[in-house]
Structure formats: structure tokens, C-alpha cells
């Protein structure tokens, strides 16, 4: 842990100058309380740093939550061990790719039977919140159960005891992005009207008690729940395909869930820290109160971690959410090749394509270094290694 200033505490041993400057600028906003906590995976983001915990008094910065509202992880520990799995993993990867829409803009062709109750729940929540998600995106309901692209993934992993885990990373998809972009624009409009001076226009904020703040919070909470249910829906489909692949079993309960963890890492909620009630925006960070279960993925081809929070008060009970980029996507495409990606993914079943070059492990901070930096934030319960990796273009 490093105290950069009284308003910025840093856990990242790998931190470039631009990211440090961005975090310092955010930390100087007058409503930050008590300080901004920079996680070990911190890197440059839109307005606010990815991998930061931003507590605010009486205000919310929509861009500090991120445009993928509610993005996070879900993992299920099964009853199976590595020796019980078929040797050929390609059929499982292809079956998962068949039942889950993968890439940006891809949706289900119709609402699946498993998704229907979840869609109905989201409609009820939207009605209660007083807004129509359809005004942002007409086919939002068909997105439930879809992965997206970028660093979103589905994996089959083995832990240190060869126990098998199903693991995936996704968020609120296009509907969450459109909600976020709308409210970022609203906040920027408010800042313009008030002639506010900000270090970055993407740090525009909404003040508690205003109609704009109330509307954002209602829609934010809805999008966070969409993201959680989206992960649940995909995981149910992955479990079904995994059961068929392992033993041809299709009946419910063929795969026993020994444990299920579902956690956000782009979200806001009200918490009490240092004696005051604050809005805590975790942009690329997970809540890590004492005993909280959590998931910290590495990049494709490296390890992921199942953790338990230690409740570090200086970190505002938070921990990193992943490895954190060292290369931008554009820079990674220039620096690395498909041959290097294949070498990094040796022994892991994945779809070989140049579309994934910008996700090569070398484009990210070493996940094991991130976890060493986080030693006073979380306790490691399991270290997972990848067997199968599924991604969207």
C-alpha cells in the first residue's frame, strides 16, 4: 500500500504515470470522502480509472461506475474432478458457442424458456422504477443470456485439487451501455449549465436530491440486476452443456452445484465508511468485506482466483477485479501476433482467431503480481487454471 496523497491510497505496484495522474485528478473532487482507493489492477479508463474505488458524499459520477453497468463474474464449483472429464474438449466449447450468443450486438433469436422468468422479473422492476428499457433498446429482452465481446469470457477451469469450476465474465450488455451513456451525457449537460470546472468532462456528476440523480439511480440499479441475471442465465446454459458433455446427462441436477458465487465489479451502492454514509462506486473492483466471497480473473491463458474478503477499511472493503491492462487494444494488436497467442494458450481449448490477439496475456499485468499486491485485501481460497476458453469476437 502506498499513500500518494491524503486523498489517494494506492495498492498497485505496476502503475503508469497517466493512470496515476488520472486517479489524482479524480481524488481532488471536493465530494470524495475519505479518499480514493486505487486497486492493484488499476489502469487508464474513461474519465475515472479502471480499478478504483470512489466514495462520494451527496453525488454520483456516472462515468465512474463505467459504461458496462453491473459487469462482473459468476462461478460454479461442480462435483466433478479433472480425471472424470472427456479428453476431447472441443465439443464442449462448440456447444457453448452454439447456445450462447457471443459477440457484440449478438442476441438470442427468441426469449428462451429459462430466460422468460428473469425477463418478466426485469419488466416488473422497470415498471416499479418508472421507466421503459425499450426506449433505450427495443430488443433488450433478447440480450439476456448473451456474452458480448472484449474481455468477456466463459471458461471451464480446474482448481489446485483438480476440482472443476465453470466460470464466466459479463455485464449488462448493450442496454446497460446505453443507460450509462445517456446519464453520462445528462451529467455533462448539468455541468455545462452550471459552468462547472472539471479536470475531465467525463467526471461530470449528479447531485443527490435532484431529479437527474434519482432517475440515474433507479435505472442504474435495474441495469445492475440485469447484469446479475444475465450471468445467471448464461451459467444455467453452460451447466446444461457441461452435463451433456461429461456424461450425456440432460436431466436437471446432473451437475451438482457445490458452490455458486456471483459478484459485480462495476457498480455503486450506499455504504458507511469512516463514520459517514457515502456512495461507493467500484469501477473495476469488487466488494471485499470480511468473509465476502469474490472472483478475480486473470487474462485468457493465465490463472483466476476464488477469494474471500478481509474487510480492509482503508481500501473501503474492496479488492481488484482482474489483471488490468498494460497495453491498449490497439497497441496489443501491433505488439503481438497470433503465433504468440497460440503459444500462450497451449493446452487450453479455444477458438483460434486473430480477433483475440488484443486479449493475449502479455497485454495485461501479471495476475500473480496483482494478487501479491492484494494480500491485505483478500485471502485466496482457490487458484484456477483454464481448460476451455470461450470468447466473442
Going from the C-alpha of 101 to that of each of 108, 110, 153, 264, the distances in angstroms are: 6, 12, 12, 21
Cα–Cα distance between 385 and 305 in angstroms, integer? 9
Residues with a catalytic annotation lie at: 321
Cα–Cα distance between 203 and 188 in angstroms, integer? 8
Cα–Cα distance between 49 and 68 in angstroms, integer? 14
Cα–Cα distance between 44 and 343 in angstroms, integer? 28
Prior bond of 47 cis (ω within 30°): no
User: How many residues belong to the chain?
Assistant: 393
Amino acid at each position: 500500500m502506498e499513500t500518494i496523497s491524503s486523498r489517494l491510497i494506492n495498492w498497485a505496484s505496476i502503475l503508469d504515470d497517466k493512470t496515476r495522474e488520472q486517479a489524482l485528478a479524480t481524488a481532488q473532487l471536493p465530494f470524495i470522502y475519505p479518499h480514493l482507493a486505487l486497486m492493484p489492477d488499476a489502469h487508464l479508463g474513461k474519465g475515472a480509472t479502471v480499478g478504483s474505488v470512489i466514495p462520494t458524499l451527496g453525488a454520483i459520477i456516472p462515468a465512474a461506475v463505467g459504461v458496462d453497468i453491473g459487469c462482473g463474474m459468476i462461478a460454479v464449483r461442480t462435483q466433478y474432478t479433472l480425471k472424470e472429464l472427456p479428453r476431447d474438449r472441443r465439443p464442449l466449447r462448440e456447444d457453448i458457442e452454439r447456445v450462447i450468443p457471443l459477440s457484440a450486438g449478438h442476441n438470442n433469436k427468441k426469449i428462451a424458456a429459462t430466460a422468460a422468468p428473469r425477463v418478466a422479473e426485469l419488466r416488473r422492476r422497470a415498471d416499479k422504477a418508472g421507466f421503459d428499457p425499450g426506449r433505450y433498446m427495443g430488443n433488450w429482452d433478447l440480450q439476456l443470456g448473451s456474452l458480448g465481446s472484449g474481455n468477456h469470457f466463459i471458461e471451464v477451469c480446474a482448481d489446485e485439487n483438480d476440482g472443476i469450476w465453470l466460470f464466466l465474465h459479463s455485464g449488462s450488455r448493450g442496454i446497460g451501455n446505453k443507460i450509462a451513456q445517456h446519464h453520462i451525457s445528462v451529467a455533462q449537460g448539468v455541468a455545462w449549465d452550471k459552468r462547472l470546472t472539471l479536470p475531465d468532462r467525463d467526471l461530470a456528476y449528479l447531485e443527490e436530491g435532484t431529479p437527474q440523480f434519482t432517475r440515474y439511480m433507479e435505472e442504474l440499479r435495474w441495469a445492475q440486476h440485469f447484469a446479475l441475471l444475465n450471468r445467471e442465465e448464461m451459467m444455467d446454459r453452460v451447466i446444461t452443456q457441461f452435463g451433456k458433455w461429461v456424461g450425456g446427462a440432460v436431466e436437471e441436477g446432473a451437475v451438482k452445484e457445490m458452490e455458486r458465487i456471483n459478484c459485480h465489479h462495476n457498480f455503486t451502492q450506499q455504504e458507511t465508511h469512516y463514520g459517514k454514509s457515502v456512495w461507493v462506486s467500484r469501477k473495476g473492483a469488487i466488494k471485499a468485506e470480511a468473509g465476502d466471497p469474490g472472483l478475480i480473473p486473470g487474462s485468457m491463458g493465465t490463472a483466476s482466483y476464488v477469494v474471500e474478503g478481509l474487510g480492509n477499511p482503508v481500501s473501503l472493503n474492496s479488492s481488484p477485479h482482474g489483471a488490468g491492462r498494460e497495453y491498449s487494444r490497439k497497441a496489443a494488436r501491433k505488439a503481438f501476433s497470433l503465433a504468440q497467442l497460440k503459444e500462450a494458450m497451449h493446452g487450453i481449448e479455444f477458438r483460434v482467431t486473430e480477433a483475440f490477439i488484443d486479449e493475449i496475456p502479455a497485454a495485461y499485468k501479471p495476475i500473480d503480481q496483482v494478487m501479491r499486491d492484494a494480500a491485505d485485501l483478500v485471502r485466496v481460497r482457490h487458484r484456477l487454471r483454464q481448460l476451455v476458453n470461450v470468447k466473442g469476437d
